[in-house]
Amino acid sequence: MARASISDDQKALTVEDATLPVVDLSGLFTGDAADKARVAAELGDAARTSGFFYINGHGISQALIDAVFAASKAFHEKPRSYKMRYWSGFTTHHRGYVPFEENGADFPKSINFNEAWDMSYEAPADHPDHLAQWRMTGPNIWPDIPGWKATVGGYYDQAFDLGLRLLDALALELGVDPEELTRHITYPTSQLRLLRYIPNAMPATKDLVGIAAHSDFECFTILMTGAPGLQVMNADDVWIEAPPIPGCFVVNIGDIFETWSGGQFKSTQHRVVNLGTERYSVPLFFGLDYHAVVEPLEKFRTPEVIEKYPAMKAGDHLMRMSVNAFRYMADARAKGDLVPDYEVPEESPFKREAKQPDP
């Protein structure tokens, strides 16, 4: 199936009109300080301007990337009755299958045409945050597909290690001790999603989307995508297309790094338009421990920055943005099973409004 039409507000500049940076990370693996500094400077420039960029030379093999896409397809091709055995709504730490009708509390008024498998950093069942519930921390669950856990878990480990390298390089670029950032990572809420966009014959409008416009709530996202559809808001707040480049990940800065940098790095809005065709993607949202307090780093604190970016718990921010993003969480809140001790805003404080490109 393919979309019947696309509304004007879902259109974007093509890559012929505007481009995203491509950063070669191979210098992070040579052991040479000058190579590392050069890559860090390129990453910082991209984070300060577009907030969204491609990376190559990342060290993750194409064979493993292909294997995780095949694993995603193997799960998503299962009957719905099978997939619902692993429904994320059976958990309080958001693990397992997310059917498309769970995506947003406004379904069916607004539809995100995707389904997902969600996993995260493995924490023990007796971890205090797992026992406390609704803190995105705890053990993973796995479908009973031969080899699936080894493939997906192996990919997670390598993508997470890549995230640590990116974190280290960005700390260098900002001129801060990496320990100032990594001390917040012991059992992080770093989620991996295996996304499938569902074929449909519906139009592409602001209410009928692949994924609605949003920023990501963590430090940054490392995304491998298999087909067009992704659009990002550039430094001028104009939507541009971000099609896949073979062998490259797409990386976007999230809310935590915008806060840490006092707004120097941009947490970029992005969306997936409803193209009506099947599409797979695999994002890793690189986050912090639930209780990590996130505020502008000391070197960037001014009265204006402190006012704009008040301190927040990383996990509270993730949950306050997730409560209305997943219908089962919104239902649990309405029934009193999920009682937030944090404010749940109507929209993200990091939201930016799109502008029309100059004629």
Look at residue 358 in the predicted model and tell me its pLDDT: 67
Angle between helices 148-174 and 33-49 (to 10 degrees): 90
* Predicted confidence (pLDDT) per residue in 272-322, tens digit: 999 999 999 999 999 999 999 999 999 999 999 999 999 999 999 999 999
Average pLDDT over residues 110-118: 96
> What DSSP designation does 358 have?
P
End-to-end CA distance of the chain: 33
**Residue 247 Ramachandran class (φ > 0 left, ψ -120 to 50 alpha, else beta):** left
Nearest to 89 by CA among 322, 282, 328: 328
Share of residues in the chain with pLDDT > 90 (%): 87
Nearest CA among 144, 128, 164, 166 for reference residue 315: 128
Q: 226 to each of 196, 264, 350, how far by Cα in Å?
A: 10, 30, 28
- Residue 1 confidence class, pLDDT cut points 50, 70, 90: very low
pLDDT band for position 106 (cuts 50, 70, 90): confident
Chain-centroid distance of CA 122 in Å reads: 18
3-state helix, strand, coil in the chain (%, to 5): 35, 20, 45
pLDDT digits (tens, 9 = 90+) for 193-251: 999 999 999 999 999 999 999 999 999 999 999 999 999 998 788 999 999 999 999 99
Strand order in the sheet with 230-233: 111-112, 208-214, 270-273, 230-233, 239-241
Q: Are 217 and 319 in contact (CB under 8 A)?
A: no
At residue 15, the pLDDT reads: 65
Phi-psi region of 51 (alpha: psi -120 to 50; beta: other; left: phi over 0): left
* Cα Dmax for the chain: 58
Tokens at 98, concatenated: 């997310």
278 closest CA partner among 224, 237, 228, 314 = 228
Model confidence pLDDT, tens digit, residues 131-185:
999 999 999 999 999 999 999 999 999 999 999 999 999 999 999 999 999 999 9
Q: Can you give the pLDDT at residue 357? A: 74
Residue 44, both tokens: 């910082």
Question: 3-state SS string over 35-60?
Answer: HHHHHHHHHHHHHHHCCEEEEECCCC
Q: Once rounded to an integer, what is the mean pLDDT over residues 122-129?
A: 98
Per-residue pLDDT reduced to its tens digit, 249-267: 999 999 999 999 999 998 9
Q: Can you tell me the distance from the alpha carbon of 33 to that of 39, in angstroms, rounded to the nearest whole number?
A: 10
Per-residue pLDDT of 30-75, as tens digits, reads 999 999 999 999 999 999 988 899 999 999 999 999 999 999 999 9
| Polymer length of the chain | 359
Kindly give the pairing relationship between strand 52-56 and strand 96-98: unpaired
